[in-house]
Amino acid sequence: MKPIQPFHLAIPVHNLIECRAFYRDILGCEEGRSSDHWVDFNFFGHQLVIHYKPKEETKNLHTNAVDGKDVPVPHFGVVLPWETFHNFAEHLKSKTIEFVIEPYVRFEGLVGEQATMFFYDPSGNALEFKAFKDMSQLFAK
C-alpha cells in the first residue's frame, strides 16, 4: 500500500478552552482555523480538530491487555521517530502529564519492539504515542 496523505481526525471535547491549551501548550501542536465550537491543530503533520460536545455522564472505561498493561480503548496517536519519542516523553514529564501507561519499551527483543506511552487529554480522550527502532517492523507479524 502506498503511504497516505495526512489523516483528519475530529474528536469531542467538553471544555474547548482547556483542551485548546492542552493541545497547543502541552503537546506543542500549532493551531489553525477555529470557531466558538472547534479548533484545528497540526497534530504531527496531521489534521486534528477538537469539537465542543457537552459532557456526558461518566462512561465505564474499557481497556485491553497488551504486554501486561491495560491499554485504553479507544485511543489515537502518532508513531514518532525513536529519538523524537524519547525527547517528547521527557517534555511531557516536565509538563507533569499524568500517564496511564508510563513511557516504556514493549515487546522488547521481539518482532514489533516499540516504545510507547498513554495519557488522556482534559476531556478524557486517550492518546498513545509510540516509536520503533526499526520502522520496517511497524506492521511485522
pLDDT tens profile 31-73: 999 999 999 999 999 999 999 999 876 666 788 989 899 999 9
CA separation for the pair 101, 116 (Å, rounded): 8
Domain with CATH 3.30.720.120 in the chain: 8-52
Backbone angles phi, psi at 82, to 5 degrees: -50, -55
Pairing of strands 62-66, 69-73: antiparallel
Task: Yes or no: say if 116 and 128 are a contact pair by the CB < 8 Å rule.
Answer: yes
- Provide the CATH number for the domain formed by 63-137 in this structure: 3.10.180.10
What local confidence, expressed as pLDDT, does residue 58 receive? Answer: 61
Tell me the pTM: 0.89
8-52: in CATH 3.30.410.10:
no
Domain with CATH 3.10.180.10 in the chain: 63-137
pLDDT per residue as tens digits for the range 70-116: 999 999 999 999 999 999 999 999 999 999 999 999 999 999 999 99
- Whether cis (ω within 30° of 0) applies to the bond prior to 74 is yes
